[in-house]
Structure 1
Amino acid sequence: MENQKFGCIQMFRSIKKTSWARDVYLRTLWENLLLDAASQPYTARFKGHTWHLKPGQLVVTAADLGQALCDRHGRPTSRDAVERMLAFFVREGMISIDGEKQKGRVITIINYEQYAEKLPNLPAQRPAHTTTHDEASNVAACREGAAHEGAQTTAHHEQYILNTNVFNDRSKKAKLHPEAAIQTPAGGKWGTAEDLQCAEWMLALRNVTKPSLKKPNLTTWANDIRMLRQLDGRTHREICQLFKWAAQDSFWHKNILSPAKLRKQWDTLSLHREDRSRKPVNEIPASDTHWNSPEAWEEFL
């Protein structure tokens, strides 16, 4: 009953079916993010700045997260290792990140409402909540009792108790993102209608240059295109133009066969595209028309 007043989060059994959950550091970091995220809007003070957080958000640095992620000898996880894990969660569509690495960044849990639902008929479950929060201690996290003295718990003065009586998520229907046109069952990967159209456009082009390849998962493609837009600042037109250039290039036409590969090699492709000495291998007509116009589709459909 004492724990109930801090609220709880839900964990789903299906998480054990994911390959990444076998990594104890990835799984623990994910649970820490869920536990430390705000349950309601509040104003936090962190690193000398004021942050207006929404439900499902926390403000933190990679170093702070590493302090709360220790091995059995109390050694914290390095900042670079935490950055790699956060980047993985971003690629999987589980979180988004805004802000500067040193001053603090706001991490947003995608679909947080699915984890934050409260158990019914628990009168004690009224979370103690303050409107301002002091800065985290980077030392206390690795001492005995770090779960209660850790950097994030101190920073936010808010703790959520992991609900060990996990819910069977098969009985719950995943909620769509408001603008989603396609998504995975759990909502971790998704894309808008234009993301999906862009994915279909790219697939149609690939089917011309590589018709024997197996049909991809369009949800994954749409999600990768969404991340190219939202995280990398690319437009649909830029995405399709660079993908089309790669499909014509004598080297890259064998390597850039998906939005994920395009995103990974974007900077290199952009540099090579400026090299006028490179010769095309696939004669695909050039066009300045909009990527989703009938004229653009008619080039290879």
Structure 2
Amino acid sequence: MKTINTADFKVTAPIQLKDMSTTYDLDADEKKIEKELEDIREDLGDFQNTIYAHAKYAVLICIQGMDTAGKDSLIREVFKDFNSRGVVVHSFKVPTDLEKKHDYLWRHYIALPARGKFGVFNRTHYENVLVTRVHPEYILGENLPHINKVEDIDGAFWAKRFEEINNFEKHIAENGTIVFKFFLHISKDEQKSRLLRRLDKPEKNWKFSPGDLKERKLWDRYQECYEDAINQTSKFHAPWYVIPSDDKPTARYIVAKTLYDTLTAYKDIKEPELEPEVKANIDSYREQLKDD
């Protein structure tokens, strides 16, 4: 199986999504890829324990992608070997009435992982510069000052949102949160195939909504908005990774390896040492237990 450099998927300069492949050849069959994923997710599970014990970093993993991109199944497969107490997945839907009474970042801020823990955002704060940009009328529901009609939502409005998101991510990164942002990049043809599978397989029918077809007609507009969002907000402290995702096992492996390679590069993340007095008396404690 091909050895990959996960930095190849990181966005460090402006991109054009139409020029980026939605496929990647790992030079291995599906069974081999799944075995490699199994190994690396076990390593990630072990490293999770170290981060938990170290308790000075949190890890935030943001996952975005078009409908059918494979977000749910990727989360299930990549984090399968994590201790459930150390990882929390948040799936952000349409904002509730309570959430609309706060600024758009509030519900994401209160869902951030604590130090020592992993948080996974399935759809993220970027919905506020993606879905709302494709459908600017949704912004009116936020009841913002000075925004009374769609025409009030201009380029300066979106530029301000990007600035706010960058500031939000910089703030949490400076305070100990390691941020990963993954865009699961699929082709329009692959989305068509996955939507058809939802219709053809009775057990998948529940995943289908007629709204999926309406949104599919806006494919090009979504691609424009994703591209702009990625280019505006891929920063050193919070980089975007564009993951070829037409093949789900390949995408899962690349994401898992990116997490592992990046996190294990933090040489200060290690289990805390025992207090000298405790360490010096380990043999005594052991004898006390044996004699108990």
The TM-score, its normalising length taken from structure 2, stands at 0.24
- Between Structure 1 and Structure 2, the one with more helix by share is 2
User: Larger radius of gyration, structure 1 or 2?
Assistant: 1
